[in-house]
Structure 1
Amino acid sequence: MTRPGVTVVTPFHAQRRTNGMLERAAASVRAQTIPVEHICAEDIHHLGAAITRTHGLALVETEWTAFLDSDDEMDPDHIEQLLACAKDTQADYVYPWFRVVGGSDPFPMFYGKPFEPAAPNSTTITILVRTELAQQVGFHPDPNVQVGGEDYQFTLSCIAAGAHIVHLPRRSWTWHHHGGGNTSGRPDRGDARPGSRRPRHR
């Protein structure tokens, strides 16, 4: 049984704590225009963002869960806007869009359009979802699936569970590309690799 409210879950690895990215993400959560809770789940065993996100998700007790990766940040009204959309549309899962720092939007063709189940990049993991649904589905990346990542597989599982998915056509969070690209939550990429060193974010 959940209680009213929203909890943000942020998976992170140790390098994100030392390079300042985790603090930047956490500061954006603290700056939200409505009260939210925040769970930061550390990838101690180098398992990747999907499994770590599931560990954090298991601790959520509020009705709604939002996800934010440790290298990204939310606009101050990100949660307020998504929650209002969910209530207005009776959605179980709401996703907005992003602006990119360090690159350009790689998927502009999907902005403002309903989720397309056949298109892996038509949504991201920076969403608001009913906690009971998210905990039921979980993140279980399948290495045999050749298209899309764990967020796409999660979304398809939500649909299979009967979720009503709504797109809010608003750029309410910042997707940071760094070091020439995005790690996509994988423990073998970028600053997620053991021994990796990057300049501290300022």
Structure 2
Amino acid sequence: MQRRITVVLPTHPARVRNGMTKRAVGSVLGQTLPAAAVVVEQDLDRAGAAATRHRGLMKVTTEWVAFLDSDDQMKPNHLAELMACAERTGADYCFSWYEAIGFGHDPLPHFGKVFDPEHPTQTTITTLVRTGLAQAVGFREPPPGARIHGERYGEDFQFTVECIAQGGRIVHHPRRTWIWNAHGQNTSGQPDRGDAAT
């Protein structure tokens, strides 16, 4: 494996049609630390975000993988800052924070708090992770309605918890390096979650 970064970006047809995927890819291509590759994995069979992200992850051959949902954007310094954080701290998994657009408030109250693996909190999936660790853990849908530590247990939080179980060191980089866009739709494209994102 080479010491470079691949960005995995799961999407579905509605987000290709409405331009969100193009916008997200454009933000990756505009990084000050260029990605070695971008894997855009499209959910054509309505398998869901976890399965789509997992398929993309399994195609990665670089040492590091970064994730971005197709409705969000990286600020130009996102990859550079996360890679610098990983190198400085020896982390296996680094996450920064977001500028929330369209929420009216910060959806998660954890910005700036040191990550505690004994009491993990939501990080979102917009992270930088050693590929070996990420591929060992992978992505799958948790049971419906699952919760952990009082929080919704989505596939992204499940991934974080399982990275800890594998011995991964997680570090929070307290900078807002990406944009989280709210529009009321889920990334999965499943019939019960809506795929007509606007």
TM-score, reference length from structure 2? 0.90
Question: Any gaps of 5 or more consecutive residues in structure 2?
Answer: 148-152
1:15-164 equivalence runs, <5 A: 15-36=14-35, 37-103=37-103, 104-107=105-108, 109-116=109-116, 122-143=122-143, 146-147=146-147, 148-164=153-169
User: 1:10 is matched with which residue?
Assistant: 9
Runs of 4+ in 1 over 6 A off after TM superposition: none
CA distance 1:116–1:145, shift in 2 (3 Å): farther
Helix, strand or coil: the match of 2:122? Answer: coil
User: 1:183 is matched with which residue?
Assistant: 186
CA distance 1:186–1:96, shift in 2 (3 Å): farther
Q: Percent identity at matched positions?
A: 49
1:115 and 1:122 in contact (8 A); partners too: no
The number of residues matched between the two structures is 190
Instruction: Give the superposed CA RMSD.
Output: 1.8
Q: 1:184: Cα distance to partner? A: 5.6
Question: CA offsets per residue over residues 167-189 of structure 1, 9 Å max, x none?
Answer: 000010000001xx352646232
Counterpart check, 1:167 vs 2:172: yes
Amino acid at match of 1:89: T
2:12 and 2:188 in contact (8 A); partners too: no
User: What is the distance in 1 between the residues matched to 2:168 and 2:21?
Assistant: 30
User: What is the distance in 2 between the residues matched to 1:150 and 1:186?
Assistant: 15
User: What is the distance in 1 between the residues matched to 2:102 and 2:119?
Assistant: 24
User: What is the distance in 1 between the residues matched to 2:143 and 2:74?
Assistant: 30
Question: Any gaps of 5 or more consecutive residues in structure 1?
Answer: none
Question: CA offsets per residue over residues 68-112 of structure 1, 9 Å max, x none?
Answer: 0000000001000000000000000000011111112111x2100
User: What is the distance in 2 between the residues matched to 1:105 and 1:158?
Assistant: 25
User: What is the distance in 1 between the residues matched to 2:81 and 2:7?
Assistant: 14
TM-score, reference length from structure 1? 0.88
Q: 1:40: Cα distance to partner? A: 0.2
